[in-house]
Amino acid sequence: MNGTTIVVALVVLAIFLLLRQMGLAKPAEARALLGQGARVIDVRTPDEFRSAHLPMAVNIPLAELQERLPREFPDKATPLLLHCASGARSAAGKRIVSGLGYRTVLNLGSYGRAEALTRPSP
């Protein structure tokens, strides 16, 4: 690999990482919404949820989100914070939930990131 190839590869990687980060909730915004009563929705499968989950999270798998969310959270003003294992399913879930008319929907991203963002401050 020559120097130009390396630079191009690094630029492509940087753009990919920047675009990926743009879809994630900003930590301060997520924490503020949690303080205002936001609900955390874990869109992983029931088996994944059983293996480990955030104490305040409600498990609504991505495949059931469109049907179950309006029944479980009928108030579309309720802020919703979605997460999954990697952030991909919660990003897809954010699009679904926003399409249902919910006004405040954030993607917390991966389980680890969601855990860090929802942990009480010392």
75 CB burial (10 A radius; 0-12, 13-18, 19+): exposed
Q: Which two tokens stand for residue 117?
A: 């963002």
List the one residue out of 24, 28, 38 whose CA is nearest residue 91.
24
Q: Which amino acids are annotated catalytic?
A: 84
* Partners of 57 in beta bridges: 40
State how far the Cα of 52 lies from the Cα of 29, in Å rounded to an integer: 25
C-alpha distances (whole Å) from 41 to each of 58, 78, 112 are 5, 12, 14
